[in-house]
A and B are shown apart, each in its own frame.
Chain A
Amino acid sequence: MIDTPLLKVSGVSKFYGSRIGCKDVNFELWPGEVLAIVGESGSGKTTLLNCISTRLLPTTGSVEYRMRDGNFRDLYHISEAERRFLMRTDWGFVHQNPADGLRMTVSAGANVGERLMAVGDRHYGKIRQTATDWLGRVEISADRIDDQPRAFSGGMRQRLQIARNLVTGPRLVFMDEPTGGLDVSVQARLLDLVRGLVNDLGLAAIVVTHDLAVARLLSHRMMVMKDGHVIEHGLTDRVLDDPREPYTQLLVSSILQV
């Protein structure tokens, strides 16, 4: 087992005026580990995700990340240039709505290639080759490389967004409801794909979802949120099969059986 975490979140709180966004969240994330954050709408999942991924400044608390040189840096004390470089290379962020994470009016190939150029790749042929490889890995056929994502279906857009995020070999990926808004057959394909990629690449990931089946399939560990607080935290199958807190029991018992 690797003995150093990748990410240390300590005492993170976010207040919107006097209202709680999320309160006093603590956890550590290790390489290769997938953490699911579940809870109903308005429970603070996305606020927490945004606070951790530096998209939203928390009111209190610290988020430390182990850089590639092995040193921990407090993400709210690094320079803007460093933070942006981190987000473009070592991290990925998969939005619920692919239009938020893609450039809709440039080609699929350029969407993937752009991240490569951000890390210094300049050879056009090589970039195009890598982009083609990645489209293949997310099951988009190579002859669509010059099409714009506008011309893609919702499922394809989401897969393209994943390719765009993973092409730079990130160590940590944030996902906000990655399967929300997709129909079930497309969802199953996407989940299987994400699951395979996470395993093969040894990524760490934080997945926000309200869908407990998605959490069961993708995550090792699960945090249940309610009203901005983490009310239960543990091994995914333990939380789902033996929920301890009243709210978690309600969530689990509300799943429809097919």
Chain B
Amino acid sequence: MATPLVVSEVFKSFTMHLRDGIKLPVVNDVNFSVASGECVVLGGPSGIGKSSILKMLYGNYAVDAGQILVDHNDHIIDIASADPRTIIDVRRQTMGYVSQFLRTVPRVAAIDVVAEPLVARGIEANVAKENAAELLAKLNLPRELWSLPPATFSGGEQQRVNIARGFITSHRILLLDEPTASLDATNRRVVVEMIAAKKEAGVAMLGIFHDEEVREAVADRILDVSAFSPRKAIAA
């Protein structure tokens, strides 16, 4: 089985220069990999570094040391040391990310927000919009909202736009940061089904799910992030 994502000996800390240069260690010596068709869930209490790990994998946070290896069009790319242009290409072609919150752009309609990743991959605008409409319908987003910019939507509605945007592409790796946090039971079930379909399609997924029911339903294995916590090392 292919393993498109390998994380090896990754260290991360924040240096707060405005607070006398305090160094806040986040995670030490992170090692794991995710195989195609597998959904790995990051476990552990809040503040242990789960979101930080996802952000490092996506190139959103810098890495102090270690490697994040991604299979990108049959080339191995190390996200930890790749240049911005390569990371943008990896995000466009290989690795998707559903964040906790939608960053809205003024004046862009929900359906275009969802279609954008496909358009960026060179798919025709009409086709991309059709796919977007299909996903929004599946996620029960009222049709009259589709042509409105999502800035004024409720938390759950924004999150569904965000999920649709993340799931619309056929990226081989998908990072999920609490995609179901503000959804009702019906829509949570829809997302669980969508994740199952992605697994079926051989997508490697890494996620954070605080909702136990969802976690039970999607997780193939749970990776306890406390094992990488520097605080635990000090305590021990």
Contact = CB atoms under 8 A, between A and B. Distances in A.
Contact of A30 (B55, B85, B106): B85
Interface in A231-246: 234-235, 237-238, 241-242, 244-246
B61 interface: yes
B61 A238 contact: yes
A181 B108 CA distance: 23
A242 B89 contact: no
A192 B61 CA distance: 26
Contacts of B61: 238, 241-242
Contacts of A195: 105
B89 A234 contact: no
B128 interface: no
B105 A192 contact: yes
B234 interface: no
A207 B18 CA distance: 28
A235 B88 CA distance: 8
Interface in A176-213: 188-189, 191-192, 195, 199
A127 B119 CA distance: 31
A112 to B, nearest CB: 23
Interface in B1-29: 14-18
A27 to B, nearest CB: 10
Nearest to B108: A192
Given A234-B84, A235-B84, A249-B17, A188 B62 contact: no
Contact of A242 (B62, B84, B105): B62
Contacts of B207: none
Interface string B17-59: 1100000000000000000000000000000000000010001
A242 B18 contact: no
B120 to A, nearest CB: 8
A255 interface: no
B107 A242 contact: no
B105 A220 contact: no
Nearest to A28: B85
A244 B107 contact: no
**Which size class do A's interface residues fall under?**
20 to 34
A242 B108 CA distance: 27
Contacts, number: 55
B60 interface: yes
A189 B107 contact: yes
Given A238-B62, A241-B61, A220 B17 contact: no
B85 A1 contact: yes
A12 B216 CA distance: 57
B87 interface: yes
Interface in B71-96: 84-89
B18 A244 contact: no
A30 B87 CA distance: 14
A33 interface: yes
A159 interface: no
A237 B60 contact: yes
Contacts of A86: none
Contacts of B60: 235, 237-238, 241-242
Contacts of B55: 241-242
A157 interface: no
Contacts of A241: 55, 60-61
Contacts of B59: 235, 238
Given A238-B61, A241-B55, A188 B107 contact: yes
A188 B106 contact: yes
A77 B86 CA distance: 32
B62 A33 contact: no
B18 A33 contact: no
Interface of B: 14-18, 55, 59-62, 84-89, 105-108, 119-120
17 contacts: A188-B107, A192-B106, A192-B108, A199-B119, A199-B120, A220-B85, A220-B88, A221-B85, A234-B62, A235-B60, A238-B59, A238-B60, A238-B84, A241-B60, A242-B62, A244-B15, A249-B18
Q: Nearest 9 CB-CB pairs, A to B? A: A246-B17, A188-B106, A235-B84, A242-B61, A192-B107, A221-B84, A249-B17, A242-B62, A237-B60
